[in-house]
Amino acid sequence: MESKKLPPGQHEIGAIPRWNIDHLGIIPENPKFDPEKWTLTVNGEVEKPVELTWRDFLKLPSVESISNFHCVEGWSVRDCRWYGVKFSTLVKIVVPSKDAKYVLFRCSDGYTTPLDLKDLLKDNILLAYKLNGQFLEEPLGGPVRLVVPDKYAYKSAMWIERITFTNRKKPGYWEERGYSDTADVWKNDRVARKKDSL
């Protein structure tokens, strides 16, 4: 169960805003999900790259994890009941090589965001496909989005299409535009500092 305390500078709102109503996205409409055509590619510095269909993905062991969700603009939503595949489960399947230090998420709207592999192994980090008992609709990042509760939500990539393990970090969409790469909500890491080596 997630703690009730919110990180510095955050205020509570009732529910995660639906993208097409509350956000200015890269593209004007949500990518459409076709379960027959959808695939998730996991590649790069791994011993066993995979390309999963929607049916394959649903067969992976899944768990529930309740966490608070924090956008860098200041809103937070408490106790989101996510359901999906722990990122650490995927790591066991693809077996990263010893050079793999980073993971780049690419999404079907063209969005990208990098994370350090070591920061993705906690039990509350999911490739989520349900929220509060419902399959994730497109305006909430469906069919599959990342959930990284202790980082600002620009690290919680929606509409994931490709996950690439790498030995060098590339900045993503918001990191290129001056946002923090560490994005730690408890340290108030909103803006990139010089020491961030991107």
Ligand X SMILES: Nc1nc2c(c(=O)[nH]1)N[C@H]1C(S)=C(S)[C@@H](COP(=O)(O)O)O[C@H]1N2
Residues that bind ligand X (CB under 6 A): 16-17, 19, 23, 25-26, 71, 107, 109, 111, 140-141, 153-154, 156-159
Of residues 154 and 165, the one with the C-beta less far from Mo ion = 154
Q: What is the smallest separation between the CB atom of 42 and ligand X, expressed in angstroms?
A: 17
Strands (E), the chain: 11-12, 39-44, 50-53, 63-70, 75-86, 102-107, 112-116, 126-131, 134-135, 145-147, 160-166
Buried b (16+ CB within 10 A) or exposed e, 8-28: eebeeeeebeebeeeeebeee
39 versus 167: smaller Cβ distance to ligand X: 39
Does the footprint of Mo ion cover residue 148 (CB under 5 A)? no
Burial of 115 (0-12, 13-18, 19+ CB in 10 A): buried
Is the Cβ of residue 137 or residue 196 nearer to ligand X in the bound state?
137
Return the amino acid letter for 32: K
19 contacts: CB under 8 Å, gap ≥ 6: 25, 30, 138, 139, 140, 141, 158
Nearer to ligand X (CB atom), residue 92 or residue 186:
186
Shortest spacing between CB 173 and ligand X, in angstroms: 7
Tell me the window of 32-40, 48-56, 71-79, 99-107 that interacts with Mo ion (CB under 5 A).
71-79
Check: CB of residue 131 under 8 Å from CB of residue 140. Answer: yes
Contact 177, 190 (CB under 8 A): no
Nearer to Mo ion, 71 or 85 (CB): 71
- The residue range among 25-33, 69-77, 78-86, 103-111 that interacts with Mo ion, by the rule CB under 5 A, is 69-77
How many residues in the shown chain lie near Mo ion by CB under 5 A? Answer: 2
Contact 154, 180 (CB under 8 A): no
Nearest distance from C-beta of residue 47 to ligand X, angstroms: 27
Q: Is 153 in the site for Mo ion (CB under 5 A)?
A: yes
- 125 counts as binding Mo ion under rule CB under 5 A: no
| Site residues (vs Mo ion, CB under 5 A) | 71, 153
